[in-house]
Structure 1
């Protein structure tokens, strides 16, 4: 009887300690929201953008559409330089495709550093990290 009890406890321990509980919720929706351009780093060097540049944003909607605006300082005035309405796609494994103003449509990796910040990297811009913040 003692052996059966030990066997039962051992089996229940293995059943309760699973590495994958089947609740993977990574469907790409974490990116939904309005994200402002914070920084563009080249080869690890931080180049903090002006307050005007930091008004630039991409807004990702839950339906897969997106709106983006890029602001640039011209003659001392902060002006809208480029805007676009388009789509974004989650490809799985932290990979997305979306439009970045003044850069174009890019496919790359999104690394969330927190719920309010992510870093985007793409092979087409080697050594460049684009940082966005909510």
Structure 2
């Protein structure tokens, strides 16, 4: 994570604090994420980032992949809440991501991926065994 937080882009002349955001990839993920802070967008790599935000008013935080269309998750961070969030990308790109307090977010779509890929793996294994049996004759 960079030492210096990204400055707040909106007008604000009150006290500030630092939002620490940890983004985690899903099973399938784009190269990076787009973080929106009160409408200003920042393209970031996966991992940790710091943003300067107002300390005396709610801040709207949105994280997405693919220019805002994939894995979207949003929250409003109030002044009373700790300024640390975690984003977790989904297991399938057509699902929403999750955002919340660190350690509380879960990856969406793991069971869907299992339901899709387990039968395909079983079919591929059956095909390999069948071909092996036919070639050994």
Q: TM-score, normalised by structure 2?
A: 0.24
Q: Normalized per residue, which structure has more strand?
A: 1
When normalised by structure 1's length, the TM-score is: 0.25
For the pair shown, which has the larger CA radius of gyration, 1 or 2? 1
